[in-house]
Structure 1
């Protein structure tokens, strides 16, 4: 049995967010019964939910996070990692894998990796695109994100990229660290059978927009500078 501890999503069941949906679908569609997922879930101090619960056959554990503004995400990741380590030691789990989503805890990454290696484990990360370039962050925050990403890539045993371009960026930017990377696409749910003629509202929509089936692209994205739909 391989125990994988997932840290960085807000938790499952997913209510919103890419990472949350990813973890939800990952656990829902687990094919290898020799993998046991442990998923951190973020809760507030006034949330009296049970400490641990099962969802999609995954072991989910709630991590209480105070309202401390921008530092919440960093606090959450570190608290979740500490709880994971305590659980590993208590249950004498061998060769655990820590899978960190996003690159928020760079200054602490060296210690985190050292602690997991001492348990016979490994640390994987999934970088969140070019987070340090996003316009919504102030200049100091963007610099923190950039340096945090660098420190996490340097210390990780494996970088899992959900985009080929992100993998190329990681390899080129941090070439001196010789990062071990792999590309795994998010994937999508597709119906096994689908007849356009059975969907009268879709037929009308295509007609109203002078479109033909399988002859157009549908682009979905948020209206933010980093997801420029025109580009």
Structure 2
């Protein structure tokens, strides 16, 4: 029997340095190599030069230099990666549909391409009209050029099923690592004590409810801290200025933190993890919080409810969020129930072992 081969497109490469898809690509590629597969991952290099190859953890990496930064560079990289991959043999897994128009070349070449369709990107408020039109068009193209689609949430599957047959879609959520300990000394530089603070970890955008959550917390003294992680640009962003102004003395804005040990400690030792996302599928940051046994307070929508389950507390607006703070900051019994519920739901649905196994099962159906 010939060795099974998978080519991964759509990320900036492995090992992960950027976001959720890169982390998933790293986990899946190493997992499949251990299962005897040959795995190729395309990697973006922000320099000029020729294409080159390297090996990492048994994974073959194809490095494509792109001398442009930002979104333009990513689009150029995706085109070159799709074109290069079209000349190779093996099953293709494309993570995201943002440049699905380039995957038409895979269809023309007769390559089998499984596409993870990510979230409903064109609905996000942060994008301009032109960007929304681009994402809408590429979502449509991805639905048709992909041989099979992966949705990371039942609501995403239901959305995609308005485009293509439901039989063409498989639901597999995002995964995470279970965290059972962290270094409490990492809290010292923030002047924090375990359990005496709550945390928000996200991009500070209106659709993530930053202003509602911060305002709800800061309406009164609470003998508690709220730590708001994220990259704020108050000089150039009116929304960021509004969030910071709403904060008050007990709200900390330490900026964007990329040290995993520090972020892990802030998450693990928090009283509550606040998740204000209003759109999207299975959000990696929410899964990671549940893996750390966090008690979750989340915006009330179908995406968050399916992921966090019945043990989380939900709010629809600033006033409901304020009421949750009033109630839950003094209820240690409910806190314990929420933490245990998060951990149990994570263990049942979102461990990497489960998620990667589901991907292997799906991909094995198409590998030839």
TM-score range, shorter-chain basis? 0.7 to 0.9
Provide the rounded CA distance (Å) in 1 between the counterparts of 2:70 and 2:17: 21
Whether the 8 Å CA contact 2:21–2:95 is kept in 1: the answer is yes
In structure 2, the residue matched to 1:187 is: 175
Judging changes above 3 Å, is the alpha-carbon distance between structure 1 residues 30 and 70 closer, same or farther for their aligned structure 2 residues? closer
In structure 1, the residue matched to 2:58 is: 57
CA deviations on 1:209-228 (whole Å, 9 max, x unpaired) are 5xxxxxxx976433223333
Aligned ranges 1:62-81 → 2 under 5 Å: 62-67=63-68, 70-81=71-82
State the TM-score, normalizing by the size of structure 1.
0.76
SS of the equivalent of 1:189 reads: coil
Provide the rounded CA distance (Å) in 2 between the counterparts of 1:144 and 1:70: 13
Provide the rounded CA distance (Å) in 1 between the counterparts of 2:70 and 2:19: 19
Task: Give the helix-richer structure, 1 or 2.
Answer: 2
CA deviations on 1:174-215 (whole Å, 9 max, x unpaired) are 14x556111222221125xx479x96989x522x35xxxxxx
SS of the equivalent of 1:151 reads: helix
Q: What is the total number of aligned residue pairs between the two structures?
A: 206
**Is structure 2 residue 163 aligned with structure 1 residue 174?**
yes
Aligned ranges 1:95-110 → 2 under 5 Å: 96-110=90-104
SS of the equivalent of 1:83 reads: helix
What is the root-mean-square deviation in Å for CA atoms of aligned residues? 3.0
Judging changes above 3 Å, is the alpha-carbon distance between structure 1 residues 190 and 67 closer, same or farther for their aligned structure 2 residues? same
In structure 2, the residue matched to 1:225 is: 206
CA deviations on 1:122-142 (whole Å, 9 max, x unpaired) are 111112301112222210110
Aligned ranges 1:104-183 → 2 under 5 Å: 104-115=98-109, 117=110, 121-171=111-161, 173-175=162-164, 180-183=168-171
State the TM-score, normalizing by the size of structure 2.
0.49
**Residue 44 of structure 1, aligned match among 37, 40, 46:** 46
Aligned ranges 1:84-103 → 2 under 5 Å: 84-86=85-87, 88=88, 93=89, 96-103=90-97
Structure 2 stretches of 5 or more lacking a match?
Answer: 188-192, 210-275, 277-297, 300-368
Structure having the higher Rg: 2
Whether the 8 Å CA contact 1:101–1:128 is kept in 2: the answer is yes
In structure 2, the residue matched to 1:11 is: 13
Judging changes above 3 Å, is the alpha-carbon distance between structure 1 residues 40 and 174 closer, same or farther for their aligned structure 2 residues? same
Provide the rounded CA distance (Å) in 2 between the counterparts of 1:41 and 1:195: 33
Whether the 8 Å CA contact 1:73–1:104 is kept in 2: the answer is no
Judging changes above 3 Å, is the alpha-carbon distance between structure 1 residues 74 and 112 closer, same or farther for their aligned structure 2 residues? farther
Judging changes above 3 Å, is the alpha-carbon distance between structure 1 residues 226 and 31 closer, same or farther for their aligned structure 2 residues? farther
Distance apart, 1:66 and its partner CA: 3.3
Judging changes above 3 Å, is the alpha-carbon distance between structure 1 residues 84 and 108 closer, same or farther for their aligned structure 2 residues? closer
Judging changes above 3 Å, is the alpha-carbon distance between structure 1 residues 187 and 142 closer, same or farther for their aligned structure 2 residues? same
